Amino acid sequence: MNIDNINDMIPLLTPYKMGNFQLSHRVVLAPLTRQRSYGNVPQPHAILYYSQRTTKGGLLISEATGVSDTSQGYPDTPGIWTKEQVEAWKPIVDAVHAKGGIFFCQIWNVGRVSNTGFQPNGQAPISSTDKGLTPQIQSNGIDVAQFTNPKRLTTEEIPLVVNDFRLAARNAIEAGFDGVEIHGAHGYLIDQFLKDGVNDRTDQYGGSLENRCRFAFEIVEAIVNEIGADKVGIRLSPFADYSESGDSNPEALGLYLAESLNKYGLAYCHMVEPRLNAVLEKVECPHSLAPMKKAFNGTFMVAGCYDKEDGNKAIAENRADLVAFGRWFLANPDMPKRFELNAPLNKYNRDTFYISDPVVGYTDYPFLEDLQ
């Protein structure tokens, strides 16, 4: 039996056409914050990290990348608002392209998930609200993240932030990326407008579903006009309540977003399953993304605690077109090959997810051939 016939039996390894991009399989590298971009500048060690996880015709999404100097909320996360950052991304993108990969840059502003130490001139972080976040235990289970009460963006300031996203998208294309993914999920700035658990505005950006989604759509429209709809995706998590960003009716929010995004003709919509809890573990949940998949006309990507079995089932049952894998892809740079051969997976080490070491827990996970 040849390899093509084997792949035909594995839904995740079947080809897929995403707009203008011909993908060789449906396994996507999810955007993963790794905190190894010293001083917010991508580093040469990222060349190996991303190229290790590249397959010909495979789609990768970069770690979340700041659109401006107000975007930051974590140490050593990359940006794409300066010339230095754009130039630093170029060899990383080139390495992915050299292996035939397709590379999208996820762009974000963390909003109120920040403090004055990360902000220019020690100013308050920006948000839809002036409500602060309560301190949070960090991923290591020891340190406590402290947040500064945010500054509520005025209606006059909002277009400036929209423009930050537009310029970041333009910079991403200049750096060589094939497109951008707008980070509208997980309690960061865009999500702080979308969710009624955060957004307490009384102007045209608050209150109704339409008003709360206005900021997100203005960003989408600006980026589509700048680089073209075929190069734009968006990530959304209507069910998530990270950083105190829950919504009273997530089903209605997700459905409205999926339906409304159709008019822009995006490359894809990337939705996070409701079964992912605050400590990134799978939980059973009665909700479903199925209505959003049905409502969205384009490529529908899902993420959230997927393994090979779940992913194959989602593709086979037409509940998703693509599946993004995070922690398992982090620990298994050759994950599509392992799926193909039904090989065991390396276990991931959560303790090394967010350390600054340029090798440990980053590029030192073994390939199958290393284990033979």
Query: What is the three-state SS of 47-61?
Result: HHHHHHCCCCCCEEE
What's the pLDDT band for 286 if we cut at 50, 70, 90? very low
Helices and strands (H, E) in the chain, number of each type: 11, 15
Is the Cβ–Cβ distance between 201 and 158 less than 8 Å? no
Determine the residue type at 182: I
* Distance in angstroms (rounded) separating the CA atoms of residues 62 and 286: 30
Q: How confident is the model at residue 134 (pLDDT cuts 50, 70, 90)?
A: very high
| Dist. CA 188–CA 272, nearest whole Å | 14
Q: Which residues have CB under 8 Å from 253's CB, separation 6+?
A: 194, 195, 209, 212, 213, 238, 247
| Token reading at 275 | 């079964």
Cβ pair 64, 108 in contact under 8 A: yes
Q: Mean pLDDT, to the nearest integer, of 330-359? A: 97
CA distance 145 to 327: 22
List helix spans (H) across 317-355: 327-331, 335-341
Q: CB neighbours (10 Å) of residue 1?
A: 7
Each residue's pLDDT tens digit, 20-32: 999 999 999 999 9
Per-residue pLDDT reduced to its tens digit, 136-169: 877 666 778 899 999 999 999 999 999 999 999 9
Give me the pLDDT at residue 139, please. 66
Please state, in angstroms and rounded to a whole number, the distance separating the CA atoms of residues 242 and 277: 9
pLDDT in tens, 158-211: 999 999 999 999 999 999 999 999 999 999 999 999 999 999 999 999 999 999
Above 50 in pLDDT, residue 3?
Answer: no
pLDDT, position 82: 98
Of the chain, the percentage scoring pLDDT greater than 90 comes to: 88
The overall longest dimension of the chain from CA atoms, in Å, is 63
pLDDT range class, residue 371, cuts 50, 70, 90:
confident
DSSP H or E run through 256: helix 250-261
Residues labelled catalytic: 188
Q: What single-letter DSSP state applies at residue 24?
A: S
DSSP classification of residue 169: H
Element (H, E) at 272: strand 268-272
